[in-house]
Structure 1
Amino acid sequence: MATELVRAEQLTLERQHKTVLDNISLSLSAGQILTLIGPNGCGKSTLVKVLLGLEKVDRGTVWRAPGLRIGYMPQRLQLDDRLPLTVGGFLALSRHAKPGDIEHWLERLNIRALQQQSVHRLSGGEWQRVLLARALLNRPQWLVLDEPVQGVDVQGQLELYELIPQLRDELGCAVVMVSHDLHLVMAATDEVVCLNGHVCCSGHPDQVSVDPAYLSLFGRQPAMAHYTHHHDHAHCLDGHVEPTRGGSV
């Protein structure tokens, strides 16, 4: 059996007389990709912060494997515009940063060309990949991605969701993603937990997508075609093409 990394039991959190999390239980094992979905304000990001130990609950418990290495990609991270900082300099600020690891993840995420560019001049998709590289510097056993495709165009979203299972396989880690759109993340997910303050439904994405509780929140959504481009080269951000060792990124 896969090693259990995180276990939450009967989590309940109230704010200003409103129940934000209501009796939520879940577990996460090594190699598992779990996606939290639900409408805006349903408690997804709050649950992630509780699981990470960044926020306390009124009732319930969270257990994390001792010494668990965590890589966290927050939903938002804004830097002061007056701070002159390159992508390489930003990554070097991480307490887990080593020059070799920075080079590795810049190359692996196809953003090597951004290393000397100002963080303030990045597109939404470029910034998200930089934040992902930062989360990966710790070689995490548990990778947490809070709305990882925010500000990314549809093609970029599909590419990122293709990448996540690859990273899971390379690192042998567990992944928790936060999203509001199941039909985009289906191919990259082993298990879905649909939240609306409480767990509305959970299971394999094919099951959740036809569950009455899910349909009441989102309705029936059109299927999205997943275009997979398998090739032996990569299109880098500075325009040049480089050979790769194992297919698409």
Structure 2
Amino acid sequence: MAKNEPILSLHDINHQIGDTVILNDISLDLYFGEMVSLIGPNGAGKSTLVKLILGLLKPTSGQIHTNAVTLGYVPQRFSVPEILPLRVQDLLSQTNSKRLTFEQKAFILDSLSIKPLAHKQMAYLSGGETQRVLLARALLDKPDLLILDEPMQGLDPDTESWLYHFIDELPDFLACTMLVVSHDLHWVMKGSKRVICLNKHICCQGVPSEIAHTPEFSRLFGHFQPYIHHHDHCQHTDNCHHGHDYIYRNTR
């Protein structure tokens, strides 16, 4: 696969249920090493778009092309009934970890503090523990495209901050494209290379410093004023921004 060739392309995607239009005329490309955020109001079709990319749904019309990539997925919600004795080690044993060395797998498990949880049942984990296990499961497959669907929802601020830092600082051997569905506009605007704003169609997309000033963004999220925080934290891909991050304050 050529470096400038997209790993995922959506062309003229439409999805509807009966007469209800869920997504209309969606076209986009994702490239290796990008950190792309998908934002939009409730009911905008974000989760539907993720399910289409994962192949869990089929579009009413249009084409989705993946360039033989391995997909990783951390869902918005993951609940296991108490009657099902699914342990953490049982869930992680289902991964295709042959793509990683023993040392690389150990790094993931150690960094996410998985080993103390190995014998615990998934049903009894806290929200933060569950998200760490699901992220470990996704990373052990060494994905080319990692999709995170509201990964921080319901977490306490310390756990949320820790997980954001972890995905921001992935080592070279886990370098991949990330598509992150999030309502956290402050993180979206400082952590993304590209932001896609969805409201059944793509309202606008681009780099955070530009998209925040578009009329479409303002209508949905209000006005954001940028503050520049000098920071050079990304070392695993040429596609990252260096020198500063943008942090925004909602002035609606």
TM range (shorter): 0.7 to 0.9
2:25 pairs with one of 11, 19, 23: 23
- The 5 A counterparts of 1:175-194 are 175-194=178-197
Please state whether the residue corresponding to 1:143 is helix, strand or coil: strand
Please tell me the residue identity of whatever aligns with 1:76.
R
User: Which residue in the other structure is 1:86 paired with?
Assistant: 87
Kept in 1: contact 2:71–2:143 (CA 8 A): yes
Secondary structure (helix, strand or coil) at the match of 2:169 reads: helix
The Cα of 1:26 is off from its aligned counterpart by 0.6
- Counterpart CA distance in 2 for 1:131 and 1:225 is 33
Match of 2:40 among 38, 41, 48: 38
Matched-pair contact (CA < 8 Å) for 2:39–2:198: yes
Separation of aligned partners in 2, 1:102 and 1:123: 23
Within the candidate set 60, 78, 93, 2:62 is matched to 60
Verify the 8 A CA contact 1:201 1:213 in the aligned structure 2. yes
Distance 1:79 1:190 in 2: 34
Q: Structure 2 CA distance, aligned partners of 1:97 and 1:154?
A: 31
Q: Which residue of 1 aligns with 2:238?
A: none
| 1:43-192 equivalent positions in 2, closer than 5 A | 43-66=45-68, 68-92=69-93, 94-97=94-97, 100=102, 103-167=106-170, 169-192=172-195
Q: Using the alignment, how far apart are the partners of 2:228 and 2:92 within structure 1?
A: 34
Counterparts of 1:84 and 1:203 in 2: how far apart (Å)? 45
Q: Cα offset for 1:220?
A: 3.3
Runs of 4+ in 1 over 6 A off after TM superposition: 222-226
Is the CA contact (8 Å cut-off) linking 1:84 and 1:118 kept in structure 2? Answer: yes
Structure 2 residue 205 is matched with structure 1 residue 198:
no
Shift of 1:146: 1.0
- Note the C-alpha offset of 1:76: 1.8
Deviation, 1:49, is: 1.3
Q: Which residue does the alignment assign to 1:233?
A: none
- Counterpart CA distance in 2 for 1:117 and 1:224 is 43
Q: TM-score, normalised by structure 2?
A: 0.80
How much has 1:11 moved relative to structure 2?
A: 0.7
8 Å CA contact retained: 1:183, 1:223: no
Point out the more displaced range, 95-104 or 124-133.
95-104
Q: Which amino acid aligns with 1:74?
A: P
TM-score by length of 1: 0.81
CA separation of 1:225 and 1:156: change in aligned 2, threshold 3 A: farther
Q: Quote the Cα distance in structure 2 between the aligned partners of 1:168 and 1:182.
A: 25
Cα shift at 1:4: 1.7
Is 1:183–1:224's contact at 8 Å kept on the other side of the alignment? Answer: no
- Judge conservation of contact 1:35–1:191 (CA < 8 Å) in 2: yes
CA distance in 2, matches of 1:196, 1:159: 30
Determine if contact 1:208/1:214 at 8 Å carries over to the other structure: yes
Secondary structure at the aligned position of 1:139 is classed as coil
Look up the SS of the partner of 1:167 in the other structure.
coil
Cα shift readout 1:152-185 (whole Å, capped 9, x = no counterpart): 1223222222222322744221111111232222
CA contact (8 A) 1:31 1:174 kept: yes
Q: Distance in 2 between matches of 1:160 and 1:223?
A: 24
Write the deviation string for residues 116-159 of structure 1: whole angstroms up to 9, x where unpaired.
22322221111111111111121111111111112212232222
Task: For 2:131 and 2:195, locate their aligned partners in 1 and report how far apart those are by CA, in whole Å.
Answer: 22
Q: Aligned partners of 1:47 and 1:136: how far apart in 2?
A: 21
1:219 to partner: Cα distance: 1.6
Quick one: which of 205, 219, 223 aligns to 1:220?
223
Q: CA RMSD in A?
A: 2.6
Read off the aligned partner of 1:160 and give its amino acid letter: L
**Shift, 1:103, TM fit:** 4.1
